[in-house]
Structure 1
Amino acid sequence: MAKQSQTVEAFNRIMGELKNKIYKPIYFLTGDEPYFIDKIAEYIEHNVLSDSDKAFNQTVVYGRDTTVNDVINAARRFPMMSNYQVLIVKEAQNIKNLSDLEIYLKTPLESTILVVCHKLSSDGKKPSSKLSGVIKLAKQKGVAFESKKFYDYQIPDWIIGYLSSKGLKIDPVAANLLAEFVGNDLSRIAKELDKLIITLPPETKQVQPVDIERNIGVSRDFNRFELTKALGEANFARAYKIADHFAKNPNANPFVLTITAIYQYFVKILKYHLLPDKNKSSVAKALGVHEFFVSEYERAAKRYPAGRCVSIIHLLSDYDMRSKGVNNSSTDHGELLKELIYLIVFGR
Structure 2
Amino acid sequence: MATSLRSFASTDRFITEIASPSPRPGYVLVGDEIFLYDRCRRAVLSTLVPEGARDFSLHDIDLSETNIFEALDRAQTPSLMAPFQVLFIRNIKNLYGRGSKKEEFAAIDAYFRSPNPQALLLFVADHIRIPTDIRKMDYQDKERFDRIRETLGEWCGMVELARVDENDATRWVVSAAEARNVRFDPDAARELVDSLGADMMLISSEFEKLLLYVEAKNRVTLGDVETMVLAAKQRSLYELTDAISAKDRPRALALLHGLLNASDGGEDAAIGHLYMLARTFRQMLIILEKNVRDSRAIWQALWQGFRMPPFAADDLIRQARRYKSRRELTRALRLVARADLELRSSPANKLLVLERLVLDLCAEPKPSLFDPSLQFAMEL
TM-score when normalising by structure 1: 0.61
Report the Cα offset of residue 49 of structure 1: 2.1
Query: Deviation at 1:69?
Result: 2.0
d(CA) in 2 for partners of 1:22 and 1:56?
Answer: 22
Report the counterpart of residue 122 of structure 2 in structure 1: 115
Instruction: Name which of 301, 317, 320 aligns with 1:323.
Output: 320
The question of whether the paired residues in 2 share the 8 Å contact of 1:36 and 1:147 is answered with: yes
In the alignment, the residues of structure 1 paired with residue 55 and residue 45 of structure 2 have an alpha-carbon distance, to the nearest angstrom, of: 12
Taking the TM superposition and a 5 Å limit, the aligned residue runs for 1:173-188 are: 173-188=187-202
Q: Distance in 2 between matches of 1:240 and 1:103?
A: 70
- The residue correspondences of 1:1-348 to structure 2 (distance < 5 A) are 5-18=5-18, 23-80=23-80, 82-96=82-96, 100=105, 101-122=108-129, 124=137, 125-126=141-142, 127-139=144-156, 143-152=157-166, 154-201=168-215, 204=218, 206-217=219-230, 223=236, 237-242=250-255, 249-250=276-277, 251=279, 320=317, 323=320, 328-332=325-329
Between the aligned partners of 1:92 and 1:195, the Cα distance in structure 2 is 35
| Pair 1:62–1:216, CA change in 2 (3 A) | same
Structure 1 position 174, deviation (Å):
0.8
Asked whether the equivalents of residues 7 and 165 of structure 2 are also in contact (C-alpha less than 8 Å), the reply is no
Where does residue 347 of structure 2 map in the other structure? none
Q: 1:221 to 1:326 in 2, by over 3 A?
A: closer
* Alignment check: 8 A CA contact 2:323 2:329 kept: no
Deviations 1:162-191 (A, max 9, x none): 434444332122112212332232112111
What displacement does 1:106 show?
3.8
Pair member with larger Rg: 2
Deviation track 1:179-208 (CA, whole Å, cap 9, x = no partner) reads 23322321121111122223332551x321
Letter of the 2:160 counterpart: E
Q: 1:153 to 1:223 in 2, by over 3 A?
A: farther
1:241 CA displacement: 4.8
- TM-score of the superposition, structure 2-length normalised? 0.57
Unpaired stretches in structure 1, ≥5 consecutive residues: 261-316, 344-348
Q: Over the residues paired in the alignment, what is the CA RMSD in angstroms? A: 4.6
Distance across 1 between alignment mates of 2:316 and 2:32? 33
For structure 2, list consecutive stretches of 5 or more residues without a partner in the other structure: 131-136, 260-272, 288-292, 295-313, 334-357, 365-380
Deviates further, 60-69 or 15-24: 15-24
